[in-house]
Amino acid sequence: MTSVSAEIKLEIEKLVKGLNYHCYRYYVLDSPVISDAEYDTQYRHLKDLEEKYQYVLPDSPTQRVGAPPLDKLEKVQHTEPMLSLDNAFSYDEVREFDARVRRFLKSDEEVEYTVEPKYDGLAMELTYRNGILYRASTRGDGNVGEDVTVNIRTVRAVPLKIEDADIPEEIDIRGEVYMEVKEFETLNEEREKEGGPAFANPRNAAAGSVRQLDSSITAKRKLHLACYGIGSVRGMEFKSQWEFIKWLKQARFPVPEIIELVKGSDGVISVIKEIEAKRKDFSFEADGAVIKVNDFGLQKILGIKTREPRWATAYKFPAHQGTTVINEIIASVGRTGTITPVAFLEPVRIGGVTVSRSTLHNWDEIERKDIRIGDTVVVERAGDVIPHVVAVLIEKRTGKENKFDPPDECPVCGSEVERDEGGVAFRCIGLNCPAQVRQRIGHYASRSAMDIDGLGEKNVELLYSRGLVRHFADIYRLKKSDLLALPRFAEKSAQNLIDAIEKSKQTTLARFLYSLGIVHVGEYAAKLLAGNFRDLEELYHVQTERIIEIKQMGEKIAGSVSHFFNDSKNLHTLDTLKSLGMKISNPDFDERGKGPRPFEGLTFVITGTLPKPRNEVEALIEGMGGRASGSVSKKTDYLVAGEDAGSKLRKARDLGIKIISYEELVAMTKGEGRLF
């Protein structure tokens, strides 16, 4: 191990402190003071130093990456119960809450309250010991929750260390983990693309993200935090909620977007009205306002009743729901071929907006709720954005209602429809389906696929709207004169695009397979296919069983590939592309087919300094049939460790992964070593 000098320690500590400050500015204050590029440069420098000297601080931003998957979430006993709140549904009930508080306190004086939005997310407790995040746990049943520490560490708004404030020996900070509405919609689009079920609302999305066994999935989700409560605390005393909130701000914790200190029920109602008026502009879902007695001493006197505190209540906003009739249900084809049932409704006003359409999510949802054409239904605008059917009013049925079954063929192009095995999504597999073709063309032309420079999203949209490009093959029929007749194109830009299109005709099988946008087939899967099939024609009419024979190919990918290459319309398009001059070579198969593949199905990770450049070592591994990965996990077979190996080496030892030197790796490729 390389020794760590005081100077190196100081440099690492300064980098950690600076990067955490910039993270706070970006994710909590939304006011960055450096560019993303500068942050990335400092982050990479810190990571290099940590790996070289194996000196990693517990609050280092590099520790926010996902950890190896868990077998299960462990149970956690809360030091103090996480109580639920009583509800108030009218201003009269708010006044009655205030009256009860004063009666219990035997006081005629106005009571001081804090009022804040009620975030619709997942309740969370963060435990800090001597200023360092020790544990994160869900509310659970209020007494026992689940340990989600490794997942919560990936949420950028969560401080790994308390900064700029007095530090208690131990403190439980409570808050809400939530997902913003726009990010929720983006996540559902991605899940639709992957064939997974859509989340019903942002709260479910946040809860599902936090409770993952694989924290790398949580790390990819954009989660936020709002802190508002305190549990057990040792080594510090707070006299009021307002004092605690001021401390949270000083300690760099995100707090509710609105929080005000007022006196009496009139003051409370005034803030509730303010929150309700601003609700439509919030980036998150808020379903009410939380009212708390400010003085902690008075809170202690008031105590709790069963499972709810007497010193707090939640005012719930009126539900944005309406009752209407489903006039029609259609099957809508999304950009990735996923077919979604959409209800056309008798127009109804909900929350000040006229709603005439509602997503039904998928056919499992239709069956579960027994939704039929002609039904009278309750519709809700979840998060004021996405209308969906909450329930069917069975008692309103007349017997004329009709079920809506999933389609046997695509309603747009007539191609075969398949259901994802083990999933809920029905998907059109037609390569030339108009509902999908624009996005497919963009993917086809992207840098990692056919790399057609100049054929970005805007130009694809322009060419499609003018009827010049309706499917892949049309790209190769474009003439320079076609482009010059369009806005945005001049002599040089038109010629450049024609040249880029011509250049793309010479490609590899791996790139071409990836460019086709076959469901579940990414770059790595495309390379695996190219390494096992001599040419494109060998894939025609391939059966699922043949694909499954390839190590690291699962049933989902195999089924998707087989369906694609057994669709006559897809095969016709591929033949058309070849007739227009497409030349597809396959160096992956040629190079790998010449010699033994002793690393077939094995995954390697490289760490530290090796005698050869890292890319050459990765090429050596892949040439022997193996896979070179960038991160250590339970799926790693070998860690190739060089000098100054860092955190990857420690993780590999913890997981019991086989550790070899570069020399041992080379010996194994020559048959001189052994696969152990």
> Would 427 be classed as within a structural domain?
no
**454 and 499: one domain?**
yes
In this predicted structure, the answer to whether residue 561 has a pLDDT above a threshold of 50 is yes
Determine the 3-state secondary structure of 508 from DSSP: strand
**569 and 624: one domain?**
no
**153 and 228: one domain?**
yes
Residue 340: Cβ within 10 Å count: 18
**138 and 217: one domain?**
yes
What CATH number should be reported for the domain holding residue 650? 3.40.50.10190
> Would 342 be classed as within a structural domain?
yes
> Would 523 be classed as within a structural domain?
yes
CA distances from 342 to 277, 333, 357, 370, 612 (A): 31, 10, 7, 15, 57
Instruction: Find the mean pLDDT for residues 500-521.
Output: 90
First to last CA, the chain: 26
Mean of the per-residue pLDDT values of the chain: 85
What CATH number should be reported for the domain holding residue 492? 1.10.150.20
Residue where one domain finishes, among candidates 267, 293, 316: 316
Q: Please give the distance of CA 307 from its chain centroid, rounded to a whole number.
A: 34
Instruction: Find the mean pLDDT for residues 95-106.
Output: 95
**551 and 503: one domain?**
yes
In this predicted structure, the answer to whether residue 306 has a pLDDT above a threshold of 70 is no
What CATH number should be reported for the domain holding residue 46? 1.10.287.610
Residue where one domain finishes, among candidates 280, 299, 316: 316
- pLDDT tens track for 176-216: 999 998 888 888 877 766 666 677 678 888 888 898 888 88
Task: Choose between 622 and 485: higher pLDDT.
Answer: 485
**452 and 531: one domain?**
yes
Domain range for 586: 434-591
Q: How many domains does the chain have?
A: 5
Taking the C-alpha atoms of residue 155 and residue 171, their distance in angstroms, rounded to an integer, is 19
**184 and 311: one domain?**
yes
Cβ(634)–Cβ(68) under 8 Å? yes
> Would 40 be classed as within a structural domain?
yes
533-539 LR contacts (CB < 8 Å, sep 24+):
533/509, 533/586, 533/589, 534/586, 534/589, 534/593, 535/509, 535/584, 535/586, 535/589, 536/509, 536/512, 536/574, 536/578, 536/584, 539/565
**338 and 447: one domain?**
no
- pLDDT tens track for 517-552: 887 787 778 888 988 898 999 999 999 988 887 766
479 is catalytic: no
**497 and 614: one domain?**
no
Residue where one domain finishes, among candidates 271, 287, 316: 316
Residue 64, φ and ψ in degrees, nearest 5: -85, -5
pLDDT at 71: 64
Instruction: Find the mean pLDDT for residues 9-17.
Output: 88
**338 and 307: one domain?**
no
Of 70-74, 117-121, 503-507, the poorest mean pLDDT is in 70-74
> Would 638 be classed as within a structural domain?
yes
**191 and 219: one domain?**
yes
Q: Which among 91-105, 272-286, 431-445 has the top mean pLDDT?
A: 91-105
What CATH number should be reported for the domain holding residue 350? 2.40.50.140
> Would 409 be classed as within a structural domain?
no
Q: Which among 318-327, 431-440, 558-567, 615-624 has the top mean pLDDT?
A: 558-567
For the question of whether the overall pTM of this predicted structure is more than 0.85, the answer is no
What CATH number should be reported for the domain holding residue 300? 3.30.470.30
**522 and 634: one domain?**
no
Taking the C-alpha atoms of residue 8 and residue 142, their distance in angstroms, rounded to an integer, is 45
Taking the C-alpha atoms of residue 331 and residue 644, their distance in angstroms, rounded to an integer, is 57
Beta partners for residue 326, in sequence order = 345
Count Cβ atoms within 10 A of the Cβ of residue 305 and give its class: 0-12 exposed, 13-18 middle, 19 or more buried: exposed
In the set 47, 52, 118, 292, the catalytic residue is 118
> Would 421 be classed as within a structural domain?
no
> Would 658 be classed as within a structural domain?
yes
Determine the 3-state secondary structure of 166 from DSSP: coil
Q: Which among 24-33, 47-56, 664-673 has the top mean pLDDT?
A: 47-56
